[in-house]
């Protein structure tokens, strides 16, 4: 799958998961000067093809998404809950993307984990896409052994 096709997979997956589980949807691609997020979550996957998947957003956007997902007020979402929901979001987005990349393959996903501050894992050869949401901005990325 080429980079353009992977970018479209990221959009389709984000639309499906955010609309179905978080009651929001991408409004479109974020402008180039959109602020980078401070929270990064990533996981690896084994299958055909193997690779890594991740997301990045701001704590504020994460908190809004977590509140929507959990049915809570934003003020009730702790940092720990915010991180847990972002890990679950990464898991859901990755699963959705992989089902579009290779629907006949079985994948094993690692547990999503928060990346250390300043991690440049998303800078590895990958395809990324930053979406504008009502809640802020969300960047998703995927790197496979087959990413051109």
**Which tens digit of pLDDT belongs to each residue from 10-48?**
999 999 999 999 999 999 999 888 887 889 999 999 998
pTM here is 0.91
Give the whole-angstrom CA distance, residue 91 versus residue 108.
11
Domain of 73, CATH number, reads 3.40.1550.10
Q: Tell me the pLDDT tens digit for each residue of 42-67.
A: 999 999 889 999 999 999 999 999 99
Q: Does the N-terminal peptide bond of residue 49 adopt cis geometry, omega within 30 degrees of 0?
A: yes
Question: What total of structural domains would you count in the chain?
Answer: 1
Domain that holds residue 121: 3-27+36-144
């Amino acid at each position: 799958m080429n980079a353009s096709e992977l970018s479209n997979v990221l959009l389709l997956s984000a639309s499906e998961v955010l609309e179905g589980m978080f009651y929001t949807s991408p409004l479109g691609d974020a402008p180039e000067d959109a602020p980078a997020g401070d929270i990064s979550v990533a996981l690896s996957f084994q299958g055909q093809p193997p690779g890594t998947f991740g997301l990045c957003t701001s704590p504020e956007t994460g908190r809004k998404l977590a509140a929507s997902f959990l049915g809570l007020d934003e003020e009730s979402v702790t940092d720990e809950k915010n991180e847990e929901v972002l890990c679950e979001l990464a898991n859901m987005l990755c699963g959705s993307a992989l089902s579009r990349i290779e629907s006949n393959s079985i994948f094993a996903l690692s547990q999503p984990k928060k990346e250390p501050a300043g991690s440049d894992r998303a800078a590895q050869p990958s395809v990324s896409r930053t979406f504008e949401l009502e809640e802020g901005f969300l960047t998703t990325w995927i790197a496979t052994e087959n990413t051109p």
